[in-house]
Every structure is written in C-alpha cells, then in structure tokens.
Chains A and B, each alone.
Chain A
Amino acid sequence: QSVLTQPPSVSAAPGQKVTISCSGSSSNIGYNSVSWYQQVPGAAPKLLIYDNHKRPSGIPDRFSASKSGTSATLAITGLQTGDEADYYCETWDRSLSVVFGGGTRLTVL
C-alpha cells in the first residue's frame, strides 16, 4: 500500500488530454513539493516535473502539473503513442522518508 494514492490506469486517444491524480496527506503533499516521473517499460524513470509544476530542460510543455492542498495532478495534452508509460508522483514525508505513489499506467488507445 503506497503512501500516495494514484489510479492504477488511465487511457485516452492520441491527441487527447489525460490527467493523473496523486492524493496524499498533510504529512506529505500538504507539507512539501511534488515531483512526477515517467517510466517507459524496460527503462529507468525520468524526471518530468519538480517543485509541483516546473519542467526540467527538454520536457515538452505538453506535460504540466499542479498541486492543491494534499493532492497533485499531472496533465498531458496532445497525447502521443510514445507517452505510453508508468507515471509516478513523489514527495517527502514527515516520517523522514521519500514516498512514491503506486504508479499509473497510461495507455494511448
């Protein structure tokens, strides 16, 4: 059971928009900033978003994110088949640990 809760799967058609939620508590998301990672099957995770909404260099603006209270949301617009991957949210918890969501598998139909 992950500390942060994500839907197991989401799907949408190419070109469409999809959102992935990440729910936590006042001990984690409500207390610290959230990062998001993309993990293509067979590869290491890649940082997509940090500090709730910032994109590292090279990440297209089709990827955006926000945080409100104890929840965070990742949005992907203009879906492409190459976006099929697992997506994880992450933050610091007051238990003095990094915590991850359980991951969401994105399927581009």
Chain B
Amino acid sequence: QLQLQESGPGLVKPSETLSLTCSVSGASITNIHYYGTWIRQPPGRGLEWIGSVSYSGSTYYNPSLKSRVTISLDTSKNQFSLKVNSVTAADTAMYYCASAAAILPIHYWGQGTLVTVPS
C-alpha cells in the first residue's frame, strides 16, 4: 500500500515557477515499477492530468501544458517532482500526486496541496 504526500509552496507569484515534490512511502517506485503522476483541480472545477513519469524516468505530458511542465524522478529519495514555468492565475489549483502500475488507472493518491497564484 503506497502513501503519497505533496509538499511545496502554497503561494507562487505570477511568471515564476511552481515547484512541488511528492514523497512516496510504503514501497520503492522503481522497485515495483510504478508511475508517478500529477493531476490538478482548479477550485470548483474538474480534474486535469498534468503528466506522468515512469519508474525508468520516461515522461509523458498533457499536450496543452507540455511547453511549461517538467516532471522528474528522484530514485534515491523515492520522490517525484513537478515544475510549472511562467505561472498565471489560471494555474491556481489543488495539485495531487498519484501513482499506479501504469499511467492509468490511478490507484493511489496524495491528499493534495493547494497552490495559489494571485492575479
């Protein structure tokens, strides 16, 4: 049973870079060949897939966000990270990290962390 926990600043200034980390416990992502995924949810709205990283470090991004997003894996810390460049108020959302044996379906979710970009 995996447990995931997001961490990072809750407030990011416009035009700056949003950086979040997902710490995984309960198993090593690389050992069990799992994927790490980031999903966000603007206040009062639906879910949006940001992208995923495989246990080997391969990355997959939402085409609509690809130019601004980087997801990376730190195997030594059993963590994966998200960076979103040039943020605007439209990037304000609850950000969830998640994991599973493939990109989808997503079996394990973190509790989410709210990131606000003021307008």
A interface residues with partner B (beta carbon < 8 Å): 2, 35, 37, 43-47, 50-51, 56, 88, 90-92, 95-103
Q: Which of B48, B96, B104, B112 lies at the interface centre, i.e. has the most chain A CB atoms within 10 A of its CB?
A: B104
Q: How far is the CA of A47 from the CA of B52 in the complex (A)?
A: 17
21 A-B residue pairs with Cβ-Cβ distance under 8 Å, sorted by A, are A35-B104, A37-B47, A43-B111, A44-B112, A45-B106, A45-B109, A47-B107, A88-B46, A90-B47, A92-B104, A97-B62, A98-B49, A98-B62, A98-B103, A98-B104, A100-B46, A100-B47, A100-B49, A102-B46, A103-B46, A103-B47
Contact indicator A56/B107 (Cβ below 8 Å): yes
Chain B positions within 8 Å of A, measured between CB atoms, are 46-49, 52, 60, 62-64, 96, 103-107, 109-112
Residues of A close to B111: CB separation below 8 A:
43-44
CB neighbours of B60 from chain A (8 A): 96
Asked if B104 contacts A90 (CB within 8 A), the reply is yes
> Majority SS of interface residues in chain A?
strand
Tally inter-chain residue pairs, CB-CB below 8 A: 52
Closest CB-CB distance, B40 to chain A, in whole Å? 11
A50: chain B residues at CB < 8 Å are 105
Residues of B within 8 A of A51 (CB): 105
Task: Report the minimum CB–CB distance from A95 to chain B (whole Å).
Answer: 6
- In the bound assembly, the distance between CA atoms of A54 and B31 in angstroms comes to 26
